[in-house]
């Protein structure tokens, strides 16, 4: 039952996010593309910085081995 409620809420959230995003960028194609690219680049940078910090501490997080 909780799974069905969570899936419904997630579906409503995703639909509203798409609707709001579509309405916000209705007249421009490049703004949402630039925003999405910027968010993806920032997320990749954060993950890479975290990975390198963990590697420097002796924790190779992608290999599953700890030294």
Number of structural domains, the chain?
1
Query: Is residue 62 in some structural domain?
Result: no
Residues 12 and 18: their CA atoms lie apart, in Å, by 10
Query: Is residue 32 in some structural domain?
Result: yes
Residues 31 and 21: their CA atoms lie apart, in Å, by 11
Q: What is the mean pLDDT of residues 10-32?
A: 88
Query: Is residue 61 in some structural domain?
Result: no
pTM here is: 0.57
- Cα–Cα distances (Å) from 47 to 25, 28, 35, 58, in that order, read 28, 30, 18, 17
Query: Is residue 37 in some structural domain?
Result: yes
Query: Is residue 66 in some structural domain?
Result: no
Of 11-20, 40-49, 55-64, where does mean pLDDT reach its minimum? 55-64
Do 41 and 30 form a contact (C-beta atoms < 8 A)? no
State which residues form the domain around 41. Answer: 2-56
């Amino acid at each position: 039952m909780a799974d069905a409620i969570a899936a419904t809420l997630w579906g409503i959230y995703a639909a509203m996010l798409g609707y709001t995003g579509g309405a916000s960028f209705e007249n421009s194609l490049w703004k949402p593309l630039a925003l999405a690219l910027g968010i993806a680049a920032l997320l990749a940078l954060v993950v890479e910085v975290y990975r390198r910090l963990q590697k420097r501490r002796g924790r190779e997080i992608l290999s599953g081995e700890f030294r």
